[in-house]
């Protein structure tokens, strides 16, 4: 899945707003509730900053999850500890490891509800 597909899904399903909150990271996109709180953060991060080998940029989305679910997901393919966020409450999903947004739909909904 691409970052654009994910962002479009969130805009259509949740009437979310997007913005680019970090001046020094112009490609980072916050996905926000209409009230302004974000429930997703899409980032392009060098692999070595995610604990992976290499320096190629990888698109990830950070989503808020319960700590118990977080510990389960962190050992599953396609997931990493939350980058740029609390590693207890946020998980990073590598967008290149998921074919369709539907594969993350439940986690997106959970993050949306957890951040209201």
Q: What is the pLDDT of residue 89?
A: 92
How far is residue 34's CA from residue 91's CA, in Å, rounded to a whole number?
A: 22
Of 95, 35, 26, nearest to 63 by C-alpha is: 95
Alpha-carbon gap, residue 56 to 50, rounded angstroms: 11
Contacts 24+ apart (CB under 8 A), 44-53: 44/3, 45/83, 49/83, 50/80, 50/83, 50/92, 51/80, 51/81
User: What pLDDT shows up at residue 13?
Assistant: 96
The rounded distance, in Å, linking the Cα atoms of 114 and 10 is 15
pLDDT recorded at residue 86: 77
pTM comes to 0.93
Per run of 10 residues, the mean pLDDT along the chain (length 116 residues) is 97 96 95 94 94 94 96 94 85 97 97 94
């Amino acid at each position: 899945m691409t970052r654009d597909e994910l962002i479009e899904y969130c805009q259509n399903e949740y009437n979310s707003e997007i913005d680019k909150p970090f001046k020094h990271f112009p490609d980072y996109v916050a996905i926000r509730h209409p009230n302004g709180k974000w429930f997703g953060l899409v980032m392009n991060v060098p692999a070595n900053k995610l604990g992976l080998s290499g320096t190629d940029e990888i698109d990830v989305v950070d989503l808020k999850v319960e700590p118990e679910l977080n510990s389960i997901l962190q050992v599953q393919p396609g997931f990493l500890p939350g980058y740029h966020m609390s590693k207890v409450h946020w998980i990073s999903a590598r967008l290149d490891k998921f074919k369709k947004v539907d594969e993350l739909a439940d986690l997106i909904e959970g993050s949306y509800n957890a951040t209201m």
